[in-house]
A and B are shown apart, each in its own frame.
Chain A
């Protein structure tokens, strides 16, 4: 009994201390990509015309239905999110419905969720009396992965609810959006970001995070490995910083899973079957990725000065075949051997 009471007491005295530690525990830091997502549309890198249109809307103009398309990491989602935040301020949560490919987006969801959200009417003032635009925003991210049926279900909804709802569709490939939808939206193409701008942006982030990147060399490498995709570049930088404690060119190659240039060259210069066998075995043992090798190889082959056009032709064609087979799940060993043989033959008969 004594012991019971005692322990009871002890736990009471313990309690405040545990809750105390709980409140002091800091939240895990956010990924840089989220942390440095543009807050206002003026922070968007490049993309002049889109920013122009969005700025027009912010200053009172009407917002059309939007269709953003372009390669990944060029700021499509960031642009619309920033605009939404500026339009709606603290009621963003009530006014914006964001669905991306990871959410269920079959025809049923379009019919139920999107339609019922679109049908709600909203006032043109905020709860605190300030004015705000009298419409809601539905953002359909990665719209190219929506089924055709789901897109078709969207058509009439888009038109009928124009009074209260604007749609913003975001996709990588505009060709996968059905024409009736594209004709209802104003289309904006997001260009791949210019190299200097990416570097400038990365530099800002690095300064803000207190990361030493030395001279521009490392950042050049980052941009080069991620060709114009700002998100990938940022993620790579953060991973590198987290794993190595510093950012170096080699570290970037390692975290992005790239194959070192030296190996690509070696593969391209293989002379006989024995060498090839050894190379492939070593390559796979070092756990590099074959599909990555193919990707880099095709870039190298096209720009290689020492190959004749016919050689380039032969190799590139085989690269395409092998890459297709790899995607279907073919074994890396087989495909690399096959491609290697083609390279040998091409090297021997210029």
Chain B
């Protein structure tokens, strides 16, 4: 038994639930004789991968769905052996180059070269190119992105790239200008609710519309999360009731707890406790930038305008430093300490005014 997210994933471009006119355009694109490199970007859970898999199916037929996993080995110029997992079919190969950290350039150059140098033997029945899908292009190093730009032009005859990114801010313009960029906005809450309804209908369950709406609200416009939440709800309690509790991701609750800890007391002792908690979050693999934005959202709730600005200013500054440095905990802690200082001063001043 698979999760609903996988089980009810649309397999055909025409069966997608939202952005239908975009799907139609993609379909037209496939039918034209030239297929450009694509750069698909949008927030997570917006359906980027689903669209790409549909597109591949449209290009190659159902053969693109027979997937196998392989581990590939590469050697860096400094003779370091690296290995990386790939998912591939006869027609495409998908890889996540950021898995190997700073050696992503080697992976990109070797992998694309490998794929591009093997021609389709008999291309009469099918496309003359293969597809390489690269995930998380926005997190690639600048080196790797520059390598990509050369590879893209060189092997255009035998291979097409589909790049997936969360945002194109960090993709260099040279790559952007070589691709057809496709923006996939997140689904609206109503769209999510509709999808939840159809999935539940397929599963033979009845879903009250208030509950659907609430799940959609909690899911932060992320369809994948919404479906997972819905399934979790079903495990918790079925038949559904409209006032049922919607389970939140526990890291969000955890961040909220941390925020309330910070707000109750501002002292070095508390800072130590907060540090423990932050460590726990990091150990569980929550990305530090999500912790940062979560904390900011929670902390600014009961501040006045000028303080909010100060806090946001410092948050942005520390977050930037976190990117440059390599130990997120320092910068998270620095931000917490800074906030405590600002907040304490504010509280003392307002108390002083009262007396």
Q: Do the beta carbons of B32 and A242 come within 8 Å of each other? A: yes
Instruction: Please name all residues of chain B whose beta carbon is closer than 8 Å to the beta carbon of A173 when the two chains form the complex.
Output: none
Q: Mark B159-199, 1 if CB is under 8 A from A, else 0.
A: 00000000111100000110011011110000000000000
B316 at the interface (CB under 8 A from A): yes
Q: Mark A59-73, 1 if CB is under 8 A from B, else 0.
A: 000000000000000
User: In the complex, what's the smallest C-beta–C-beta distance from A49 to chain B, in angstroms?
Assistant: 28
Task: Pick the most buried of A26, A232, A329: most chain B CB atoms within 10 A of its CB.
Answer: A329
Question: Mostly helix, strand, loop or mixed at chain B's interface?
Answer: helix
Q: Do the beta carbons of B185 and A331 come within 8 Å of each other? A: no
Q: Do the beta carbons of B293 and A26 come within 8 Å of each other? A: no
Residue of B167, B297, B313 near A290 (CB, 8 A) is: B167
B10 at the interface (CB under 8 A from A): no
In the assembly, what is the distance between CA of A103 and CA of B170, in Å? 23
User: In the complex, what's the smallest C-beta–C-beta distance from B233 to chain A, in angstroms?
Assistant: 23
Q: Do the beta carbons of B169 and A289 come within 8 Å of each other? A: yes
Q: Do the beta carbons of B312 and A337 come within 8 Å of each other? A: yes
A179 at the interface (CB under 8 A from B): no
Partner-contacting stretch, out of A194-202, A296-304, A338-346:
A338-346
In the assembly, what is the distance between CA of A232 and CA of B29, in Å? 20
In the complex, which residues 236-291 of chain A have their Cβ closer than 8 Å to any Cβ of chain B? 239, 242-245, 254-255, 257, 272-273, 277, 284-291
Q: Mark B22-41, 1 if CB is under 8 A from A, else 0.
A: 00010011001111100001
Task: Pick the most buried of B33, B35, B146, B169: most chain A CB atoms within 10 A of its CB.
Answer: B169
Q: Do the beta carbons of A257 and B43 come within 8 Å of each other? A: no
User: In the complex, what's the smallest C-beta–C-beta distance from A227 to chain B, in angstroms?
Assistant: 13
Q: Do the beta carbons of A331 and B168 come within 8 Å of each other? A: no
User: In the complex, what's the smallest C-beta–C-beta distance from B49 to chain A, in angstroms?
Assistant: 14
Instruction: Please name all residues of chain A whose beta carbon is closer than 8 Å to the beta carbon of B32 when the two chains form the complex.
Output: 242
Q: Do the beta carbons of B169 and A291 come within 8 Å of each other? A: yes
Q: Mark B261-297, 1 if CB is under 8 A from A, else 0.
A: 0000000000000000000000000000100110011
Task: State whether A287 and B296 are in contact (beta carbons under 8 Å apart), knowing that A29-B34, A332-B167 are contacts in the complex.
Answer: no
Question: Mostly helix, strand, loop or mixed at chain A's interface?
Answer: helix
Kindly list the 3 A-B residue pairs having the minimum CB-CB distance in the complex, ordered from nearest.
A102-B150, A338-B316, A341-B309
Which residues of B does A touch, CB under 8 Å? 25, 28-29, 32-36, 41-43, 46, 122-124, 146, 149-150, 153-154, 167-170, 176-177, 180-181, 183-186, 221, 289, 292-293, 296-297, 300, 305-306, 308-309, 312-313, 315-317, 319-320, 323-324
Could you pull out 30 A-B pairs where Cβ atoms are within 8 angstroms? A28-B35, A101-B150, A102-B146, A239-B36, A239-B180, A243-B180, A244-B25, A245-B25, A254-B183, A257-B183, A273-B308, A284-B167, A285-B186, A287-B41, A287-B42, A287-B167, A287-B185, A290-B167, A292-B169, A325-B319, A331-B293, A334-B320, A335-B320, A337-B315, A338-B312, A338-B313, A338-B317, A341-B309, A345-B309, A348-B305
